[in-house]
Amino acid sequence: MNEDNEIIPAPGLIDVRGHGPVVEDDDRENVADLEYETPNTEQSEKVVEPIVCSSVDEFGLKMLRFIAEQKRTPRMMALIGFLESDALPLDAQLRVKALQMAPHYVVRNGVLVKRVHLRA
């Protein structure tokens, strides 16, 4: 900060306050040619059911790849085994980690997910 209480960026950082979005010239020509459709404001008689997605899909993760990745990690497998059948691993470090992390995780549909604690 200087005498006028202005925040001065550290040297070597890029100042982006005055810059607009970066668009290549080819994209500008294509944007001008696009026709924008106005949304239809008429009320439809159909009842639209909301699409329910899992939280894994919401973040763009592939479910099968996510499960496979969890099964490759020894710490995750030890925690899943402990939560499902109270089986502790023989390795001392994995055993301690499983006991420490168990209150914070739960297994749902074979996937280890973090438990959410909402404050009242």
pLDDT tens figures, 15-44: 455 545 555 555 555 555 555 555 555 655
Quick one: pLDDT at residue 71?
Answer: 87
Let me know if residue 13 belongs to a domain. Answer: no
Which two structure tokens, joined as six digits, stand for 4?
């006028």
Let me know if residue 76 belongs to a domain. Answer: yes
Determine the 3-state secondary structure of 112 from DSSP: strand
Quick one: pLDDT at residue 56?
Answer: 57
Can you tell me the distance from the alpha carbon of 95 to that of 78, in angstroms, rounded to the nearest whole number? 8
| pTM of this structure | 0.47
- Give 12's pLDDT tier (boundaries 50, 70, 90): low
Can you tell me the distance from the alpha carbon of 4 to that of 27, in angstroms, rounded to the nearest whole number? 42
pLDDT averaged over every residue in the chain? 72
Can you tell me the distance from the alpha carbon of 118 to that of 46, in angstroms, rounded to the nearest whole number? 36
**Residue (of 75, 72, 91) closest to 83 by Cα position:** 75
Q: List, in sequence order, every residue forming a beta bridge with 3; answer none if it has no partner.
A: none
Which two structure tokens, joined as six digits, stand for 57?
């899909």
Quick one: pLDDT at residue 52?
Answer: 58
| Mean of pLDDT values over 41-62 | 62
Let me know if residue 111 belongs to a domain. Answer: yes
pLDDT tens figures, 73-106: 899 999 999 999 988 889 899 999 999 999 999 9
Which two structure tokens, joined as six digits, stand for 95?
């055993």
Let me know if residue 120 belongs to a domain. Answer: yes
| CA within 13 Å, CB half, 57 | 4
Number of domains in the chain: 1
Let me know if residue 110 belongs to a domain. Answer: yes
Can you tell me the distance from the alpha carbon of 51 to that of 102, in angstroms, rounded to the nearest whole number? 32
Q: Which domain holds residue 79?
A: 49-120
Let me know if residue 69 belongs to a domain. Answer: yes
